[in-house]
């Protein structure tokens, strides 16, 4: 017996090792833990390669090795063995292995350095035919260097100037140079090495710009996702083909401007401006004068804004902004600022020129202010219907690396950066004095507020402070000694919370125990911060299935990604998760102990490259309950056959010899894509069970459990075999021994392995995926509650108790206390920017609140919320709105704005501008609101705090 046990143990080890193709012996879990922990702490260094690993596989590995201190109970458990590294969940297309869009670090994947990847592959192997996802570390920023792994490469569309219709898409890193692109294009279009070439980018339908600096990076050159790049080959007579176009144009002029030679770290200063060709006309397309070019570091503006419809005249300010690749967030914020009259007048009248602060260490040498000024002048010139803010975006990306790429960002975050950057670039204070903060110590609020405002103005004095800054009053009270601390702080915008929903809607699929019923999809209402048990109770009310008989699972790629416990929080379930609830009955009257097993469908495949076999998962997994004393291969075969008989059709002869085989359990695979197959290595350890079938009776209204076994009847053939596998279904743990009681634990995982021919003949794919929709999905959803803007303001000014992780240090008690905190508004600015906090974040949950907030178009009275007793009248009218449509991290930004020339409303959607009416403006998409104070000219002088406008210390 000892010899047999040892043999089984050795065979199990061989089976696990077979999952790692060519992998050497794995060290023990402690060594794996230590080695990976050190490598994952490696700092990012430019040029290094890092690898993406699917978060699902990585979490499974962490469980197996006990990586997290709070999750060590299953260390080394064979059922947790992760199998070969599997990134199939990251691919949108299994064949091309192209990445899904909008993948998020630490939520969809983890990044590991090269050495860590090599170790994981050596220990576990990787799925056959699956290419590693390797990406380079890229450095962003000009002054503040910022490294990040470039997960999404930039797609450029390459073509020859002589054949612009033959376009080839290629991907490049933002750190690649123009020379790299040229080399690739020479190879793609078979251009001889001796031929001279030059590159052009096309960023509008009729606008081309020469890429004249080979050592410029893709990022510095301002190339964006989807940009068309042309390569032009010099003629044999030493002329360029495009020169012939210019010669034919009667308006052809070729101007090459040279910027001032003043030193600058900008790659755009002290260089020759590249020429731009628009419809065969070579010019700088902006008409710069020497004052624009003479300031150090600003030479880049010579061809920043190439425009369409240059011959046509339009209303000043009604100028769209081209989308450069996920830049709608920037366009929305810019249109709102552009339609802020006092700020736009300041730039159009060139008042900024005398106030640019190039020496402010907190600023950007005036370059953000100058870039913004040039863009505003172009928008308000009345000559173009739209412009491409390409160089403005490049400048922003140089100083704020988070905006340097082409992924969707937040319009409010860009707005905050831009207001701060403009303030520091235009700060009239050349040398900021050191100021010591004083405690209120019982002094009157008016005195402390005046002191705080004057101190703020001693260090911060700009057009942004004049227009956008206000003053908060913050009151903290110690719960122990009743110490009251009052401070006054400036702000630049109000971030208002929205009243949180108390519940959420979830769509789940209920898999009934009755083998004749298809799964049914339900929509249930559950508490926002509820538990899995709340979901079961809610589902029980409309389905009639007892809550205690439910098991809630997250199904992903034909396997159970997670099986939830009743006390787990619903915040672990993301909106995109496919949630299946299985009806699994509890022990019946005879007191038998039941075990619930997970069952996966696998198809055996043969590799083309070798004679080894592998498997792919398919179909919808099962959950079955079986009495422990009947855990044999014969009995399991009968039980599984019973559950799947709705969509596995046996030959007639077998049906006649198998009384229960026509009663199938409903386990459809709604929401699980059949195409998402994943291949695993394995050894065929499943045993062919005895060719007998158990006749079973199902009691308790057809629950998924077997209570009796009658006479075994002969069966011609078993159509599948069993393997004991890990919870990921990628590797076998042990062989299944026929004729003996199997020692399986709760939620052990079995695989039923099919050969390809049997699956094709017997498995009805269409019926397996079939499901029904409950009337709860068809019922109109309750109209969402409408919230008034004043409700948000009242919520903002409501007293709250600080959390245990955010205590306040009481100077009297000499310790941190959970004090009460209250915000009040002391003074408000001329332009009030209101940010509606629609996005909420937690470790497991990211959500957008799409509540409709009712806000007034005109006559917003803020006077009642201002606590300064000497306050004036604070009446505001709306002038602009930044909108966000869609879900968090994706979606689209637009803007509504009121034109200061004709007082009419317009809708700005990237390059498109259209007339709008006031009744269109208040929607659930409203995200950032811009209000202008009425008759507030007298409040521009910043002396008394109650008449000053302002906020937020921008240091």
Under 8 Å between Cβ of 724 and 733: yes
Pull the structure tokens for residue 83: 């199998």
The phi-psi region of residue 214 (left if phi > 0; otherwise alpha if psi is between -120 and 50; otherwise beta) is alpha
Computed on alpha carbons and rounded to an integer, the radius of gyration of the chain in Å comes to 34
Under 8 Å between Cβ of 200 and 208: yes
- Indicate the burial class of 792 (C-beta count within 10 angstroms; 0-12, 13-18, 19 or more): buried
SS3 assignment for 511-532: ECCCCCCCCEEEEEEEECCCEH
Which among 696, 569, 561, 679 is positioned nearest to 624, based on CA atoms? 696
Our measurement of the distance from residue 511's CA atom to the centroid of its chain's CA atoms, rounded to an integer in Å, reads 31
Q: Is 743 helix (H, G, I), strand (E, B) or coil?
A: coil
* Sign of CA pseudo-dihedral 538, 539, 544, 545: negative
> Whole-angstrom Cα distance, residue 767 to residue 746?
29
Under 8 Å between Cβ of 477 and 483: yes
User: Is 892 part of the annotated catalytic residue set?
Assistant: yes
For residue 406, give every residue at least 6 positions away whose Cβ sits within 8 Å of its Cβ, in sequence order, or none: 154, 224, 225, 324, 325, 326, 327
* Sign of CA pseudo-dihedral 787, 793, 797, 800: positive
- Phi, psi (5° rounding) for residue 445? -55, -40
Under 8 Å between Cβ of 945 and 939: no
User: Is 328 part of the annotated catalytic residue set?
Assistant: yes
- Among residues 159, 319, 328, 715, the one annotated as catalytic is 328
Pull the structure tokens for residue 264: 């600058």
**Longest distance between any two alpha carbons in the chain, whole Å:** 101
What's the N-to-C CA distance of the chain in angstroms? 77
Pull the structure tokens for residue 590: 């005879």
Which among 619, 511, 640 is positioned nearest to 558, based on CA atoms? 619
> Whole-angstrom Cα distance, residue 363 to residue 161?
42
CB atoms under 10 Å from CB of 504, counted, come to: 17
Our measurement of the distance from residue 34's CA atom to the centroid of its chain's CA atoms, rounded to an integer in Å, reads 30
Q: Is 685 helix (H, G, I), strand (E, B) or coil?
A: coil
The set of catalytic residues is: 328, 892
């Amino acid at each position: 017996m000892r010899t047999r046990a040892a043999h089984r143990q050795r065979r199990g080890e061989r089976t696990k090792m077979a999952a790692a193709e060519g992998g050497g012996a794995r060290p023990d879990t402690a060594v794996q833990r230590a080695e990976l922990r050190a490598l994952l702490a490696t700092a990012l260094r430019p040029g290094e390669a890092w690898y993406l690993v699917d978060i699902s596989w990585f979490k499974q590995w962490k469980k197996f090795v006990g990586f997290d201190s709070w999750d060590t109970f299953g260390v080394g458990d064979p059922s947790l063995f992760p199998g070969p590294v599997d990134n199939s969940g990251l691919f949108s297309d299994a064949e091309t292995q192209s990445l899904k869009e909008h993948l998020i670090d630490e939520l969809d994947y983890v990044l590991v350095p090269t050495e860590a990847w090599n170790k994981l592959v050596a220990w576990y192997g990787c799925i056959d035919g699956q290419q590693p996802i390797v990406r380079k570390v890229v450095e962003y920023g000009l002054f503040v260097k910022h490294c990040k792994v470039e997960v999404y490469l930039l797609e450029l569309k390459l073509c020859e100037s002589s054949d612009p219709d033959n376009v080839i898409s290629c991907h490049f890193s933002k750190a690649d140079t123009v020379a790299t692109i040229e080399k690739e294009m020479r190879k793609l279009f078979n251009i001889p090495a001796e031929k001279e070439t030059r590159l052009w980018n096309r960023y509008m339908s009729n606008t081309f710009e020469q890429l004249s600096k080979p050592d410029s990076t893709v990022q510095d050159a301002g190339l964006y996702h989807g940009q068309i790049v042309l390569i032009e080959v010099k003629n044999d007579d030493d002329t360029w083909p495009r020169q012939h176009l210019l010669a034919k144009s009667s308006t052809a002029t070729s101007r090459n401007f040279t910027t001032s030679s003043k030193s600058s770290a900008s790659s755009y200063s002290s260089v020759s401006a590249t020429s731009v060709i628009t419809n065969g006309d070579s010019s700088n397309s902006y008409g710069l004068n020497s004052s624009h070019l003479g300031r150090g570091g600003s030479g880049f503006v010579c061809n920043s804004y190439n425009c369409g419809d240059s011959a046509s005249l339009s209303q000043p300010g009604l100028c769209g902004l081209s989308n450069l690749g996920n830049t709608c967030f920037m366009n929305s914020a810019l249109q709102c600022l552009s339609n802020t009259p006092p700020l736009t007048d300041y730039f159009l009248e060139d008042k900024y020129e005398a106030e640019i602060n190039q020496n402010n260490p907190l600023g950007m040498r005036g370059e953000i202010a100058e870039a913004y000024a040039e863009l505003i002048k172009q928008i308000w010139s009345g000559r173009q219907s739209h412009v491409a803010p390409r160089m403005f975006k490049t400048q922003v990306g140089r100083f704020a690396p988070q905006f340097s790429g082409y992924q969707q960002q937040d319009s409010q975050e860009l707005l905050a950066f831009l207001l701060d950057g403009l303030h520091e670039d235009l700060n009239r204070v050349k040398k900021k004095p050191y100021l010591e903060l004083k405690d209120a110590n019982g002094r009157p609020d008016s005195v402390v507020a005046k002191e705080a405002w004057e101190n703020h103005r001693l260090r911060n004095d700009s057009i942004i402070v004049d227009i956008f800054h206000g003053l908060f009053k913050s009151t903290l009270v110690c719960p122990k000694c009743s110490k009251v601390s009052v401070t006054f702080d400036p702000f630049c915008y109000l971030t208002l919370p929205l009243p949180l929903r108390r519940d959420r809607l979830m769509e789940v699929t209920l898999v009934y125990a009755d083998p004749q019923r298809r799964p049914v999809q339900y929509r249930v209402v559950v508490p926002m911060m509820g538990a899995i048990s709340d979901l079961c109770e809610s589902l029980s009310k409309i389905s009639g299935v007892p809550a205690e008989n439910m098991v809630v699972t997250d199904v992903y790629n034909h396997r159970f990604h997670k099986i939830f416990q009743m006390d787990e929080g619903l915040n672990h379930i993301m909106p995109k998760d496919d949630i299946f609830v299985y009806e699994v009955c509890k022990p019946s009257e005879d007191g038998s102990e039941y075990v619930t097993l997970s069952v996966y469908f696998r198809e055996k495949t043969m590799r083309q490259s070798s004679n080894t076999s592998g498997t792919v998962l398919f179909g919808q997994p099962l959950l079955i309950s079986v009495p422990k004393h009947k855990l044999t291969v014969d009995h399991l075969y009968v039980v599984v056959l019973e559950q799947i008989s709705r969509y596995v059709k046996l030959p007639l002869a077998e049906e006649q010899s198998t009384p229960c085989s026509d009663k199938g359990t409903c386990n459809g695979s709604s929401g699980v894509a059949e195409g998402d197959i994943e291949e695993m290595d394995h050894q065929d350890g499943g045993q062919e069970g005895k060719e007998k079938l158990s006749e079973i009776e199902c009691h308790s209204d057809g629950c998924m459990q077997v209570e009796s076994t009658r006479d075994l009847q002969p069966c011609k053939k078993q159509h599948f075999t069993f393997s004991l596998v890990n919870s990921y279904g990628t590797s076998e743990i042990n062989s299944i021994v026929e004729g003996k009681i199997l020692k399986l634990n709760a939620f052990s995982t079995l695989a039923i392995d099919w050969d390809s021919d049997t699956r094709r003949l017997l498995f009805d794919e269409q019926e397996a995926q079939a499901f029904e929709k409950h009337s709860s999905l068809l019922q109109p959803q309750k109209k969402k509650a409408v919230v008034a803007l004043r409700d948000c303001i009242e919520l903002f000014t409501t007293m709250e108790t600080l959390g245990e992780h955010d205590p306040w240090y009481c100077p009297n008690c000499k310790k941190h206390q959970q004090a009460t905190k209250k915000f009040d508004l002391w003074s408000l600015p001329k332009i009030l920017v209101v940010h509606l906090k629609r996005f909420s974040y937690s470790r497991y949950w990211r959500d957008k609140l799409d509540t409709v907030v009712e806000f007034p178009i005109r006559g917003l009275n803020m006077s009642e919320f201002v606590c300064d007793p000497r306050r004036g009248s604070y009446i505001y009218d709306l002038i602009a709105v930044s909108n966000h449509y869609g879900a968090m991290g994706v979606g689209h930004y637009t803007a509504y704005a009121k034109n200061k020339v004709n007082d009419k409303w317009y809708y700005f959607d990237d390059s498109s501008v259209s007339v709008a009416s006031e009744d269109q403006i208040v929607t659930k998409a409203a995200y950032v609101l811009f209000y202008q104070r009425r008759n507030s000219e007298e409040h521009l002088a910043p002396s008394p705090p109650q008449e000053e406008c302002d906020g937020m210390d921008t240091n």
